[in-house]
Amino acid sequence: MSDIRLIGIVGAGPMGVGIAHVGARAGYDVVVHDIDAARLATLPAALGTTFSRQIKRGAIPDGDARAAIARVRTSADIQSLGNCDLVIESVYEDEEIKRALYASLKGVLKPSAILATDTSSISITRLAAATDRAPRFLGLHFMNPVPMMELVEIIPGIATTPDVVAIATEVVRRMGKTPVAAQDFPAFMVNRILAPMINEAIYVLYEGVGTVESIDTACKLGLHHPMGPLALADFIGLDIFLSIMKVLHEGLHDQKYRPCPLLIKYVEAGWLGRKSGRGFYDYSVDPPKPTR
């Protein structure tokens, strides 16, 4: 069914690195594009780290890992995506940034190429309208961290053709993931369920019902979650999480999705979680220390 051989990834952040990892491990040739040359320079080391973890667990032989890494190349030139059969956009969760990228891809991608977005919440149909290939555009929402998480949500837009969905589903399965179909509603399925829970945990902190430590401990032990909701928010990135809540609130017009004021204040302060060194936890110390 599929003639997908070369996969392009736009964005060399953690999600882009993770998608490159599973794509290369599945046997695809991969090119990762980013306008930030410094970020691209760190990608081989980041790939090496994730593969090393899998080697230590016995999940992949050393030779297979080295062969997978050899299938990945990087480029700061957007023209490097011209021969790709599938391009997966994994840039910052901001609709205007994504739309500007799609404009720059017009005339670069070959007509048969499929374009996908890794957005965690934004309307696929609306994003597709900013491209030159709405019938060959869809959402592929990978979970973080990509090498470990089994799920990929597959979200067609209103114009996406069935053959494109079928090809994307085949690619996801070859990557060792389980594809699950979702409809094009704000935040799709997983984040629509998960985000309000995390937001409510922030309200519990905001209202003084519990501390960071007590809330996370209670959820880990009482709900048997591997990570508390506040630690998970820090892992996601509080700015990204706030963006998801805004999409839910504005898209569904329901007050139950209103972002907690404390979340907004943390983002305004630049306390974005792990990536900034401070969020609901202070990551300058080991182990991280709760900030409230």
Give the pair of three-digit tokens for residue 100.
């500007």
Give the pair of three-digit tokens for residue 274.
């792990």
How, if at all, do strands 114-117 and 137-142 pair?
A: parallel
Q: From the candidates 123, 191, 199, 243, give the one annotated as an active-site residue.
A: 191
Interior/surface letters 202-232, b for 16+ CB within 10 angstroms, e for the rest = bbbbeeeebebeebbebbeeeeeeeebbbbb
Helical (H) or strand (E) element with 181: strand 178-181
| 123 labelled catalytic | no
What does the alpha-carbon distance between residue 128 and residue 45 come to, in Å, rounded to a whole number? 33
Q: From the candidates 21, 123, 141, 199, give the one annotated as an active-site residue.
A: 141
| 144 labelled catalytic | no
Q: From the candidates 21, 89, 93, 120, give the one annotated as an active-site residue.
A: 120
Q: From the candidates 21, 89, 153, 199, give the one annotated as an active-site residue.
A: 153
Nearest alpha carbon to residue 90 among 126, 141, 42: 141
Cβ distance 25 to 104 under 8 Å? Answer: no
What does the alpha-carbon distance between residue 63 and residue 66 come to, in Å, rounded to a whole number? 5
What does the alpha-carbon distance between residue 283 and residue 291 come to, in Å, rounded to a whole number? 10
| 191 labelled catalytic | yes
Instruction: Show which residues are catalytic.
Output: 120, 141, 153, 191
